[in-house]
Amino acid sequence: MRICKAGWPFIIGCLLCAAALASLSHSFGSAWLALASGAAFLAAAFCAYFFRDPFRRIPAGGGLVLSPADGKIMEIVDARDAVSREPVWVMRIFLSVFEPHLQRAPVAGRVRSVAYKKGRFLDARDPQAACENEQNRIVIEGAGAPVVVTQIAGLIARRIVCWVAEGQMVAAGERIGLIRFGSQVDLVLPKSLKLRVKAGDHVTAGDTVIAELAQKNES
């Protein structure tokens, strides 16, 4: 299993801590230090699991929109874009601490903008989290209209990592970022797309098709 580079400092740090505690436990004969060493080793194993980067087979074909994250769709809202005021779908995906936390580009295209905003750290399932929490908004020109991926920090997640920049071209399914330890990803889609998922569905980044161009079904 591949592990994200961003996870190695956590894994190595926990392993070094486990080794140091084990050495001290051996020197002083302390059962408490031995237990602490075991806990640090388990923390290293959890970090390796959390920062895993599973292989994904990216679906071929134009007009498809892929899930940007692994998790459960909390809701899909019929709304208007905050900037353009055009009618859109807003899809909210909850990522538990047991999900891979990589984000992938839902469509191929050019990154029009990347905007980071400081904020609070409410639980990702809180209705106010999407508005008030720390977040990073990535706008990609694709699928016939801009598609917006918003990385949102949560109660435990305190670090958003973005690997793309304004003007960069991305492929569908390409890795674009990471959120550490439990969070939410919102996706804003134009209403011209036909949804293929619903609230309550579990999706995986890069290989779950969540929408497609309506013309594709009607041809």
Question: Is residue 73 one of the residues assigned to a domain?
Answer: yes
Q: What is the pLDDT of residues 120-172, one digit of tens each?
A: 777 666 677 777 788 899 999 976 778 999 998 876 655 788 999 999 999 99
126 & 208 share domain: yes
93 & 161 share domain: yes
What is the spatial distance between Cα 90 and Cα 88, in angstroms, rounded to a whole number?
A: 6
Q: Are 105 and 171 in contact (CB under 8 A)?
A: yes
Q: Give the pLDDT band of residue 219 (cuts 50, 70, 90).
A: very low
Question: Is residue 78 one of the residues assigned to a domain?
Answer: yes
Question: Is residue 146 one of the residues assigned to a domain?
Answer: yes
Name residue 193's beta-bridge partners. Answer: 213
Question: Is residue 56 one of the residues assigned to a domain?
Answer: no
Catalytic-labelled residue, pool 27, 37, 183, 219: 183
| Domain around 44 | 5-50
What is the CA angle 126-132-134, rounded to 5? 105
What is the spatial distance between Cα 30 and Cα 88, in angstroms, rounded to a whole number?
A: 60
Least confident of 5-19, 76-90, 122-136, 201-215: 122-136
139 & 161 share domain: yes
| Model pLDDT, residue 132 | 75
Question: Is residue 57 one of the residues assigned to a domain?
Answer: no
Per the structure, the count of domains in the chain is 2
Question: Is residue 42 one of the residues assigned to a domain?
Answer: yes
Question: Is residue 176 one of the residues assigned to a domain?
Answer: yes
User: Does the active-site annotation cover 183?
Assistant: yes
| Model pLDDT, residue 182 | 63
82 & 114 share domain: yes
69 & 39 share domain: no
109 & 209 share domain: yes
Q: Is the pLDDT of residue 79 over 80?
A: yes
120 & 166 share domain: yes
- Which pairs count as long-range contacts for 166-170, CB under 8 Å and 24+ apart, including other chains? 166/111, 166/112, 166/113, 166/114, 167/110, 167/111, 168/110, 168/111, 169/108, 169/109, 169/110, 169/111, 170/105, 170/108, 170/109, 170/110, 170/111, 170/140
